Structure 1
Amino acid sequence: MLKKRLLALGMCVILGASLLAGCGSAKSEDKSASAGKGKDIVMVWLPNESGDGYKASRDAIGALVEKATGKKVVHKLTTDYAIAVETMANNKAAIGYLGAQSFVEANKKNPKVLPFVVNSGASGTLKDAVYYSWLAVNKGDEDQYKKDGKYVIDNIQGKRFSFVSNSSTSGFKVPSAGIVSYFGKMDKWKNIKVADLLEGGPDKFFSEVLFGGSHQGAAMNLLNNKVDVAAFCDEIMNNYITLVSGDLNATGAVYKIKDGAAEPFNGMIGKEYVVIKSVPVLNSPMVMNTSMLTKEEQEKLVTVFTDPAVANNPAIFVPADSKATGSFKRTKNECFVKVENSWFDPIRALSN
């Protein structure tokens, strides 16, 4: 039942009229790193979680890996999604926290890369284990994306647009598939493909296309007026924003950069944006390279991460009323739950 529901969620991107909307070098906290050898174990992070503000969260999660494996964790930080994917796929890291699309890419390159847990929804289960992919515009520009009082995406064509990375689920894969699905029903764009969204120009779908490199980067492209519309997700931005009006994660919601927001938003306090499209996306997995871990280590990782005590660790599941930065929020019964490879088939379907 659950699998059918999730598959339907993915397929609606391809078949439904709704829009499903979320470079450089690696940097590392280690001085060397030979993954899987000796007493060290390398854990790789996407750019979104590689910032200084996430250090406490990374360290707390790393402590879980150390508890499960008995090895010292070396955190490999990145500034490029592709580097994180290649690090996992090329046996340079045994553990990683990847987005759904990044995991699918790593798994395709190396089938030994598998998910072991995801953060649940408020129910404490997989049934609501989703976050949201947004298309957003600056406050004051939102009316041009309305028709008969409702938000539509027709007018994003011809605009300056920012994605996150082409390996991002909510910051590229989902919104690009939704755009192609929506505009592909129009005669003018009946032959449109995702590849047509990668570059801008006078004869292109968008007038200009930027890639933020992270969800924070895509949002900054919008807030700095480098683009008119941007794709990014709620999960990362929740650390920097507060709801001004509308319903949480709903189309039409208005958010502003909150007081005390950390970099890169510390110079954007009070700046507002409007979500013109919001769609649920499968939560991101903790992944492991099973060729670099013993069977016992793999089993212990699941056991340690799903221990009820972990859900009560404020450094990992940050309380909803806390100002701390973290990858996961604790609003009710959120926790880590075991997940199978097949759970991500709806994301794979977006590439077919």
Structure 2
Amino acid sequence: MVTRRLVLAGAAALVFSASAYAEVWKSKYPELAFAVVPGENASGVTERWTPFVNYLSKELGVKVTLRVANDYAAVIEGQRAGNIQIGYYGPASFARARLTGVKIDAFVIDVNSDGSKGYYSVFYVLAKSPYQTIGDLRGKNLGLVDPNSTSGNNMPRLKLNQLGIDPGAYFSNVIFTGSHENAVLALAQGTVDVAADWWNADDDSNLTRMLNKGMVKTSDGTPMKKEDFRIIVRSDMIINSPVAYLSDLPDDMKAAIKQAFLDAAQKDPEAFRNLSDGKNKPWEPIADEDYNKTIELIKFVDALRKKAY
């Protein structure tokens, strides 16, 4: 005879079993590594992401350690080796990872304040300079960011190609600065005459974030303003950055990680706000296929570079 006591006991057993199963991945992964591409200098990345990583640790119930990558390739190779469970990528570095066989899956994407999911690559010059178009910069120095940066290398090369320009032949020097911040600083200090960087909107770009921190100064130490820079080229829209985890992680673990990201804006609004200076809306789900166009972009740029050699 089935009694109410037996039914309740069975339900309790099922709850216990499900709870125990949920803890299995935590015993296998007592610590997770979360790596971030160097959109800023190391201290800037650490300051921006540490509160969120602390939130992840609390939400997931395991220690999450922030890894500040030296370059974009470090995140790719860390996930290839399986040493980094979660990575925050640029679109092109995620596409490069997928293209070269890294077993990862994108699960959430940045969302802009207006609900859009894209940004732009722009070419900056100093406002005091005589340069009004790319045509004025033949024989000058171009500052790019990193070979795996979307807005700092791949999209700029595509845009230049559309304008009939081979960077290696057109500019006197093409310099990789290593980070978006370094590209702006190189321009401000006169190391380069034009620099590529990312731009979301007039009040949301790498430049405005740096200016808000008082980071941009002339070679004599004078603080600079947004009006001291001029955009001479803007690209087509680029899909926003994804967060990706290793494909072979346990399904319940991936589900927990994804849910923690989706819940972040509500559960820890200050930590979430810190990531974008309050400019972004909550993350939304994304799929690998959404970056197929970016894979085609880097294939195209790779082909251009091979022709140059």
Q: TM-score range by the shorter chain?
A: 0.7 to 0.9
% identical equivalent positions: 24
Residues 1:95 and 1:80: Cα distance change in structure 2 (over 3 Å): same
Residue in 2 that maps onto 1:231? 196
Cα pair distance change 1:223/1:123, threshold 3 Å? closer
Match of 1:207 among 167, 172, 176: 172
3-state secondary structure, aligned to 1:144: coil
Q: Distance in 2 between matches of 1:129 and 1:60?
A: 24
Kindly indicate whether the alpha-carbon contact (under 8 Å) linking 1:53 and 1:262 is maintained by their aligned counterparts in 2.
no
Deviation at 1:263, TM superposition (A): 8.0
1:172 alignment partner AA: N
**What's the counterpart of residue 248 of structure 1?**
none
Residue number among 147, 153, 161 corresponding to 1:172 in the alignment: 153
Q: Look up the equivalent residue of 2:214 and give its one-letter code.
A: A
**Shift in Å at residue 309 of structure 1?**
3.8
Q: Does 1:340 align with 2:293?
A: no
Shift of 1:135: 0.1
Q: Give the 5 Å matches for 1:1-352.
A: 38-49=29-40, 51-67=42-58, 69-124=60-115, 128-141=116-129, 143-145=130-132, 152-183=133-164, 192=166, 197=167, 199=168, 204-234=169-199, 235-241=205-211, 258=212, 260-262=213-215, 267=221, 269-270=223-224, 272-279=228-235, 280-291=237-248, 293-307=249-263, 309-310=265-266, 313-318=269-274, 327-331=275-279, 334-350=281-297, 351-352=299-300
Aligned residues: 264
Is contact 2:125–2:232 with CA below 8 Å preserved after alignment?
A: yes
CA contact (8 A) 1:46 1:98 kept: yes
Structure 1 residues 263 and 179, CA gap change in structure 2 (3 angstroms):
closer
| Offset, 1:121 | 2.2
Change (3 A) 1:45 1:263: farther
Counterpart AA for 2:86: I
Shift of 1:179: 0.2
TM-score, structure 2 length as denominator?
0.77
SS, match of residue 66 in structure 1: helix
C-alpha spacing 1:139/1:50, structure 2 compared with 1 (3 Å): closer
Unaligned runs of 5+ in 2: 1-26, 200-204, 301-309
Contact 1:240 1:265 in 2 (8 A): no
Q: Which runs of 4+ in 1 moved over 4 A?
A: 262-268
Aligned mates of 2:284, 2:92 — CA distance in 1: 19
CA pair 308-316 structure 1, distance change in 2 beyond 3 A: closer
State whether residues 32 and 65 of structure 2, in contact with CA within 8 Å, keep that contact through their aligned partners in structure 1.
yes
Distance in 1 separating the partners of 2:138 and 2:266 = 45
Shift of 1:70: 2.8
- Name the SS of the counterpart of 1:52 in structure 2: helix
Give the TM-score taking structure 1 as reference length. 0.68
User: CA 1:220 to 1:329, structure 2 compared with 1: closer, same or farther past 3 Å?
Assistant: same
- Higher radius of gyration, 1 or 2: 2
